[in-house]
Structures are given as C-alpha cells and as structure tokens.
Amino acid sequence: MSHAFDSTKMEQFKVFKFSEDKCYYGETAWVDSTGKIIEDLSSFPGEEKKYQIRHGNGIEVYGKTSSGDISRYEGQWDHNKKSGKGKCIFLDGSYYIGEYHNNCINGKGTFTWSNGATYNGEWIKGRMSGQGEYKNNKIVHKGTFINGYYLDVSFI
C-alpha cells in the first residue's frame, strides 16, 4: 500500500526513533497538553507545553529478529494511533491490509497468514467478527464470524 505524501507539508514530516528496533517516518502534528491539535504554532504561547505526535500518513518499523526481519505498518495515523486505512507486515510474514481504529484492526480488511490461509471480511477489535470468508487449503468458511470463530449455522 503506497500513500502519497503531501509535498507542501514536508515541514510536518518527522523521524521518531523510539528504541533500537522501533522508528516512525511520516506526517506529524503538534498538540497541546490536552491533546488538541495546534493549527498555528506561531500563535501558540511559548510557555505552554506542546508535543509532536504521529498524525497523517506514515510508516512505522518495529521488531527485529536475529535474521534482520522487521514488522512494518504503513498507513494513516490519528492522534498517535493507527486509524484509517493501512497495511501491516508481521515478523512471521503474515500481513493485514484494511481498516484500523484506535490502534486496532477494525472494519473491513484481509489478513493473510504465513501458511497462506486468508480471511477477508469484517473485524472488531482485532478479531474476525461479522461477515467474512476464511480460506485455508480446501477449507472455506463463508458467513458469520463472532469473536474470531466461524458460526456454522448447519448445526443450528
């Protein structure tokens, strides 16, 4: 998933290095101590505290194995949290493309496990919930999922 960065806002780009194995590159915003975005820094009182956060499109790279593998999230951020459309590639090769809300897989999206199994459908708080389709080799479950489990209506 590729996101076009607004070249007119390059001054809002920032690189954050959180630790030896976690960094962020992308759009940022300044907020006051209550979390409200500061639209005009020049009119913000200098004596008040302000913080720069991840906000807009950005890439976060984190986790590193001895073989050099990393996890990567590329997508939208809202007030320092993954929110909106994004793609996450995990250390084991699994990946998710879809919607996030409040740092969690939430909404519609597709998860592909490293063994090739896929789930395409609705998510609630990181779990398959709602209408979707799970495929693994010759096994296909299509219909309603609740809290990560397929609801097999043939037993009802």
Q: What is the pLDDT of residue 2?
A: 45
Positions of the chain with pLDDT lower than 50, given as ranges: 1-3, 5, 8, 156
pLDDT digits (tens, 9 = 90+) for 30-75: 999 888 998 888 878 777 788 889 999 999 998 877 777 789 999 9
| Alpha carbon distance 4, 28 (integer Å) | 15
Label each residue of 99-145 as H, E or C: EEECCEEEEEEEEECCCCCEEEEEEECCEEEEEEEEEECCEEEEEEE
| Alpha carbon distance 5, 10 (integer Å) | 8
Please state the domain extents for the chain.
9-77, 92-156
| Alpha carbon distance 18, 92 (integer Å) | 22
